[in-house]
Amino acid sequence: MTDPRRYLIRMMLFIGMVAVIAVLLIKPLTAAFMGNAVLNSVIIAVALVGIIYVVTQVFRLVPEVRWLSDIQRTRTLNPNAPRPVLLATVNVMLQDARGDSQLSALSLRSVLDGVAGRLDEGREISRYMIGLLVFLGLLGTFWGLLQTIGSVGQVVSGLDLVDSDFESLMMQLRTGLDAPLSGMATAFSSSLFGLAGSLILGFLDLQLGQAIGRFFNEVEDWLSAFAKYNDPANNQIEGSTAALAEGMSEEAARALITLASAIESAEADRGHMIEQVVTMNQNMHQLSELLADDRRLRDQLAALQATMGDIASQMAQSRQDHQKELRAEIRALSASLSESGKSSELKARK
């Protein structure tokens, strides 16, 4: 933030330069001041009051800049710090923060309008004093001209043209011109001090305007970081919400934008749920395929088991047949052996 006291330095330099010029022209200025001391004193007093007021307005910006600089540095609002006057709307906005760090364009415009109104309110009095100095100078001018015209009329009507003494006539004319000259002194001196005072106060008001303008621009730049503008690339809900919010109050616009955000998040959740349902259907399909494969595998195992049972029964039957054949062969062999033994015995007996 720019320190507004830098503009006070310019003001002090200008006032010092004016004071030096006044000191150098002290004799003619004193003579002009004595043309109408009362009116010129009023003009000078108004000019001094205006100078003090303008300087005070610049000093009013110093605590505001310090408060805003502390917030920019700490990024927190200190509740124990003195509350600002010119930035009261900004203070209310920060205290009423609802967790979101963004402002709508309508809120930003409202806050900036409040700050601009308070800043312009302080300059109205200084502008009025500038006009008042010009008015007092013109008032003294017309007052002096009226005195001059009236005095000239009295001098002309008071001349004694019957008297042929030229010296007495000139003396009478010289004495009568003192009043018109006094009126001219009032007119020109009041114009001089009034215009000079308005010139000085106008330059100081110009510096005040620059200080206020720089302060307002920096506040606007800082608040712009919190602003949330409508993006043309957003969906149709945000566009329609922004169009409706233009004619609503701040609370209604905030509620409408919150509702639109809730609808948008609900639509996003709905899309996510649809994706999850599609994924679940795919998983169920794969599971059903696996169950079908498992059923086919069980059928194949049952068929294999039946085949193996048939093979086992065939092997048992074949084994029984082999055992029967083996028994028959053993019987036949034993019979042949017994017959051969009997024939051997017969031969031995013979």
Spans of all domains in the chain: 5-229
| pLDDT of 109 | 76
Model pLDDT, residue 16 = 93
What pLDDT was estimated at residue 201?
Answer: 92
So what's the pLDDT on residue 20?
Answer: 94
* pTM over cut 0.85: no
Which pLDDT value is given to residue 80? 72
What integer pLDDT is reported at residue 23 of this predicted model?
92
For residue 233, the model assigns a pLDDT of 40
If we measure between CA atoms, which residue out of 293, 311, 34, 57 comes closest to residue 189? 34
pLDDT along the chain (350 residues), means of 10: 84 92 90 84 92 90 84 73 75 62 64 79 86 89 76 58 57 58 75 89 90 85 64 43 48 68 80 82 81 80 79 80 78 76 71
pLDDT at 231: 40
